[in-house]
Amino acid sequence: MAKILIIDDEAAILNLMAKSCRQQGHEVTAVQTGKDGIQALDTIQPDMMIVDLLIGDMNGLDIIRYSEENYPKTQVIMVTGNGSIETAVEAMRLGAFDYLTKPFELADLQRTVSLGLQNPEVPTRKEAEDFQSSAITSSSGGLIGESPKVKEILQVIGKIANNDSPVLLEGEFGSGKQMVARNIHNESDRKDAPFKVLQCSALPEELLEAELFGSPTSRGETIFSRAAGGTILLEEIHVLPLRLQSKLDSYLDEINTRRMMNDLPRHMDTRFIASSAKPLQESVEAGTFREDLYYKISVIPIAVPPLRSRIEDIEPLAEHFLSRHAERTSASIPEIDKYAKRLLEGYSWPGNVGELQNAIERACAFAEDNRIRPVDLPPKVTQKVEITDDDEKTTHHLPIGSALSEYIRKQEKLFIRETLKYNGGSREKTASMLGVSIATLYRKMGLKLEKNKMTS
């Protein structure tokens, strides 16, 4: 149950929202004025605030600013009746989790409230930025890792940091693309200027367009102007709508032309980095990404490898996450025992560095005597799965995260081997029992069939 403050000057809507949140089991305080809202904020310090944009005595954005400055852990949902894109953008910039446009379905409200409350330990924007920037970087700002692949990326960064050519980072979700971008920024002459991130998949098309190119009432403010002199990272650019791809292509052309003419205004002077979890060449071939834009943003391509391909980086990353957790909780750094280390290194990490970070956070919560053991790790890492057969629970060790074809191949081979044992090593009996030809049996066992067997 969470404490929710709702501020709306329309009594009917206020009562409906309050009733809806109470049905979800939350403790609700509902007020109709901005003054009462500020007072309630100071008194109850809620987990979430739902605030209307236009309240009789106050602008909802001013209340959001007050909340962010004084109660940064309070999640905020803004409600607006005019559907103003610029206002929604401004609310998100101020720290709002999401916004709803009147009229909305109560189911949408309940869903948004649930999403906003999924993690009650919501960090402030500054805490989040600080944590993200150090999540897989060392105290000196360098990427953490001992693998040849990480060392190769660091060498590339050293060469291109002060080159303003666009960079394209490709790699799976959670592999650390944002950290590579931050490292490029931190190693460049632009390090004292802003580093701004825009997630293409996080905003609807209209909001995304307003953030990139401005709108009639935004007074020309865009992510480019806010990152003036610094670096922009456009995350998951593969989902950028084709219409906006065309506008971005033209805008980057203008930046390049004016840079060559030595006529680049301050608000256009940025280093452009894009990232994609999907190989953009495939999107170009599928016709969902503009070929001209692809070549424009991929002057310097960097492939960020998945964690499973650099096992030697797992331990130093885990140690770093442990150190960060101890720093935040003012506790001593737990030790990982050798059996837990083996499991960490044996797991395939489909969620990459982000999944490892979450696993370490969970392990810290369950660890006893300041020591992380296998039992403290998530079940999918230890590969233990409880399966109920005929009302009986059994525990199976399954390689969760590996490819299905590989698992089936190994299980098939194991089954053939055990059937061979049952038949005293007779391959003919085994093939007959399994209902396959002797040639198929040999193939699945990885053996060559003797010539006389093939002709008999």
Q: In 24-70, where does DSSP find H-type helix? A: 34-44, 60-70
Task: Report the CATH number at residue 229.
Answer: 3.40.50.300
Average per-residue pLDDT in the chain? 83
| Residue at a domain's end among 328, 352, 382 | 382
pLDDT at position 390, please?
A: 58
* Burial (Cβ within 10 Å: 0-12, 13-18, ≥19) of residue 177: buried
| Per-residue confidence band for 119, with pLDDT thresholds at 50, 70 and 90 | very low
Residue 141 belongs to a domain = no
CATH number at residue 349: 1.10.8.60
Pairing of strands 384-389, 392-397: antiparallel
253 shares a domain with 110: no
Residue 390 within any structural domain of the chain: no
What total number of domains does the chain contain? 4
Q: Is residue 394 part of a domain?
A: no
Shared-domain flag, residues 157 and 97: no
Instruction: Supply angle C-alpha 201, 204, 207, rounded to 5.
Output: 110
**127 within domain boundaries:** no
Range of the domain at 375: 308-382
Question: Are residues 173 and 221 located together in one domain of the fold?
Answer: yes
Q: What is the pLDDT of residue 446?
A: 77
Residues 116 and 252 in one domain: no
Identity of the amino acid at 122: V
pLDDT of residue 130: 41
Query: How far apart (Å, rounded) are the C-alpha atoms in residues 68 and 96?
Result: 9
Establish if 395 belongs to a structural domain: no
- Shared domain check, 36 and 69: yes
Summarised one tens digit per residue, pLDDT across range 9-63 is: 888 889 999 999 998 889 999 999 999 999 999 999 999 999 998 888 888 889 9
**Domain assignment of residue 140, yes or no:** no
Last residue of a domain, one of 382, 414, 433: 382
* Band (84; pLDDT cuts 50, 70, 90): low
The CA distance from 79 to 6, in Å, is: 10
DSSP, collapsed to helix, strand or coil, labels residue 337 as: coil
Residues 272 and 322 in one domain: no
State which of 289, 305, 321 marks the end of a domain.
305
Residues 153 and 100 in one domain: no
Q: Are 296 and 312 part of one and the same domain?
A: no
pLDDT of residue 217: 57
pLDDT score for 454: 41
If pLDDT is split at 50, 70 and 90, which confidence band does 455 have? very low
Tell whether 393 is covered by a domain.
Answer: no
Whether 110 and 172 map to the same domain: the answer is no
Clarify whether residues 300 and 159 are in a common domain. yes
Domain CATH code at residue 451: 1.10.10
Exposure of 164 in the CB half-sphere (CA atoms within 13 A): 13
Query: Mean pLDDT over residues 337-354, rounded?
Result: 88
Instruction: For residues 324 and 307, give the distance between their C-alpha atoms in angstroms, rounded to a whole number.
Output: 19
Handedness of CA 375, 379, 382, 388 (dihedral sign): positive
User: Residue 329 to residues 323, 326, 333, 358: CA-CA distances in angstroms?
Assistant: 10, 5, 10, 16
- Residue 124: pLDDT band with limits 50, 70, 90: very low
Given a cut of 50, whether residue 110 has pLDDT beyond it is: yes
Are both 319 and 241 inside the same structural domain?
no
Asked whether residue 361 is domain-assigned, the answer is: yes
Phi first, then psi, for residue 69 (nearest 5°) are -75, -35
Residue 129: its pLDDT value, please? 41
Do 88 and 186 share a structural domain?
no
pTM: 0.62
Domain containing 85 — which CATH number? 3.40.50.2300
